[in-house]
Amino acid sequence: MTTTETAETPEPGEQLPEPGLLPIEDVRAQGDLRPPTLPVDRAVFWIAAAVILAVILWGAVLPEAFESASTSALNWVIANFGWLFIIAGNIFLVLAVYIASSRYGNIRLGAADEEPEFGTLPWISMMFAAGMGIGLMFYGVAEPLSHYFDAPPPLQLDPTSPYYQDELQQGALLYSFFHWGLHPWAIYAVAGLALAYSTFRKRRGNNLSDAFAPLTADRNWGHGAGRAIDLLAIFATVFGTAASLGLGALQVAVGLNITLGVPETRWLELIVIAALTLAFVVSAFSGVHRGVKWLSTTNVLLALFLVMFVFLVGPSLWILDAWPATTGAYLSSLVDISNITGAFGGADWMATWTIFYWAWWLSWAPFVGTFIARISRGRSIRQFVVGVLLVPSTASTLWFTILGGTAIRFQSTGAADYSAEVAQGPEYALFALLQSLPLYSLLAGISMLLVAIYFVTGADSASLVLGSLSSHGSLHPKKPLVVFWGMVIGAVAAVLLLSGGLQGLKNATIIVALPFVFVMLALCVALMKELVTDPGANPLRQQLRHKGFREAIRRLVGEEVSAHAENGNNRWYRGKRKFGMGSGRRSNHEE
């Protein structure tokens, strides 16, 4: 009888037998993961669609009222819960490091001998494109320059110091490292790990709510609180992704204005969103393996070309000095800067930068976490966390050092002046830097192409996740559903731009992130509750339990143990005969 004949189709939310340390063939023989395509969860879909479409209608018909309400909600969130974002970010980072460095890192996200579904380079490319893409293009030059022109209050620099300029340049890069380094990727790592563990290790659904199963014994979890969690995840994903795509539309519109002279208007931004959303639809119908994988790999190559070109024609030696120095300063001051809340000054700056970023990363957690989980089957937890935490963080610090550091160096030495562009808006900063370099037209074209592809991959990945969340955690949601969510994201991005521009995008991000902080903290508890009982965390103990001491030792130290043990038995038997303790031959029991 074939595997497909013996496998039973689980109901949504039903847990299948745990793979433990079984080989992949045995897991599949039991009935592998739930069917890749599941029906739409009508309750989740219609509630989410109705609420989001109502917000779109409100913002389109009454943009002033929408902006006023979102600003008031934002001020309330920051005034009352800014501290929570800071503490939660630290919890996620500490937990990720602990899990990776502990015995839990041995656990495989799948069956015992399952191989990774994607190669390392495509895995990193898709992960990086989904998690940072547009943001790095938008803020890669703008944030370091902003900190250079307006020093972060926590730095407490003395303008009369002879080292002021050096400290200011390093401080501008240091805070860029902080906002785009370990903390955001720790948030993604925790969310992605919990989902990958639940989906591929415990063989539940791919919904965020399925990862909360350890916290409840209620079999109807998926019909109550579980659906509420999935709804919160959908809201956070839609608005968080829309904010990022809105940033991308702003930057492409500015690029078209600077390079081609196209008038920069809201209509241009809306046309850009519509065109890129159409491109996403084409990508979505090609599937994750062909569409997102190909676009992500292409983007990594284009980004490498851009950053290497800037490095070679920019202040290369200064960059080589600045990166290790700033990285060391970032790591050595990580505890201090991670716990600044604005209680003793700089509260407005914290709200504009750190709290906004932490809320942004949290709003992206269900999307990026689900997507990273989706592409990480077969990896060990240690591989997963180290890959998610260190590789993109290192790439981000290099990106900021090369692009942002070059702009800072040109500004500080008088080679260029970017103050007007930074004051005009962060979307102008990248093109201002490129105008200071050779081959400006080529670099500007590559930059706009990068932003456009990041827009498409971001919408593609987010829509795939939204389709999964609204169809019982299906690994391969139906394509019309994926396309619907992509169009909704584009519409929300357009409405946020119309109602409040860049600030409107930021407001929506922070507001939707607040309830998700509590979801993420509960997710940490659920994850740890399962990891402590997973047999894969201690393979030797599992082998002792199921195969006996002798087999466990043989697996650890090799077959020579067998030979020595056999010799020992023979000597014991000969001694037994010598002293008259046995008959002339072995008994059946002794044999």
Instruction: Please write the tens of the pLDDT for every residue from 391-415.
Output: 889 989 999 999 999 999 999 999 9
Convert the pLDDT of each residue in 167-223 to its tens digit.
999 999 999 999 999 999 999 999 999 999 998 998 887 788 889 988 876 555 556
Percent of the chain at pLDDT exceeding 90: 35
Alpha-carbon distance 346 to 362, whole Å?
A: 22
Residue 131: the pLDDT is 60
Model confidence at 126, pLDDT cuts 50, 70, 90, reads confident
Ranking 214-223, 259-268, 511-520 by mean pLDDT, the lowest is: 214-223
pLDDT for position 569: 53
User: What's the residue count for the chain?
Assistant: 591
> Stretch 378-394: mean pLDDT, rounded?
91
**Helical H runs in 102-141?**
120-131, 133-139
What pLDDT does 286 receive? 63
Query: Radius of gyration of the chain from Cα atoms?
Result: 27
pLDDT of residue 234: 92
Q: What is the pTM of this model?
A: 0.81
pLDDT value at position 557?
57
Residue 412 burial by Cβ neighbours in a 10 Å radius (0-12, 13-18, 19+): middle
- Look over the chain and give the mean of its residue pLDDT values, rounded to a whole number: 81
Angle, alpha carbons 307-313-315 (nearest 5°): 90
The class that CATH gives domain 3-539 is mainly alpha
Question: Cα 364 to the chain's mean position, in Å?
Answer: 7
Q: Which residues pair with 380 in a beta bridge?
A: 108
Looking up tokens 């990580």 gives 334
| Angle (nearest 5°) at CA 406 between 349 and 393 | 65
pLDDT of 287 over the 70 cut: no
Determine which of 45-59, 154-168, 529-543 has the lowest per-residue pLDDT on average.
529-543
Mean pLDDT, rounded, for 229-236 = 90
pLDDT of amino acid 243: 83
d(Cα 277, Cα 460) in Å, to the nearest integer?
9
In eight-state DSSP terms, residue 380 is B
Cα separation, 178 vs 329, whole angstroms: 10
Is the pLDDT assigned to residue 18 strictly greater than 50?
no
Domain ranges of the chain: 3-539, 553-591
User: What band does 582 get if pLDDT is binned at 50, 70 and 90?
Assistant: very low
What was the pLDDT predicted at 290? 60
Q: Which of 226, 248, 342, 227 is nearest to 299 (CA)?
A: 248
Out of 510-519, 538-547, 573-582, the most confident range is 510-519
| Residue 339 scores a pLDDT above 80 | yes
Segment 471-486, tens digit of pLDDT: 887 878 888 898 899 8
* Residue 493 predicted with pLDDT over 60: yes
Residue 219's pLDDT is what?
Answer: 52
- Is the per-residue pLDDT at 349 higher than 50? yes
pLDDT of residue 307: 94
pLDDT at 33: 47
pLDDT of residue 145: 96
Q: Please write the tens of the pLDDT for every residue from 412-462.
A: 999 999 999 999 988 899 999 999 999 999 999 999 998 888 888 777 778
376, 196 in Cβ contact below 8 A?
yes
Those residues with Cβ within 8 angstroms of residue 372's Cβ, 6 or more apart along the chain or in another chain: 127, 130, 131, 188, 189, 192, 196, 388
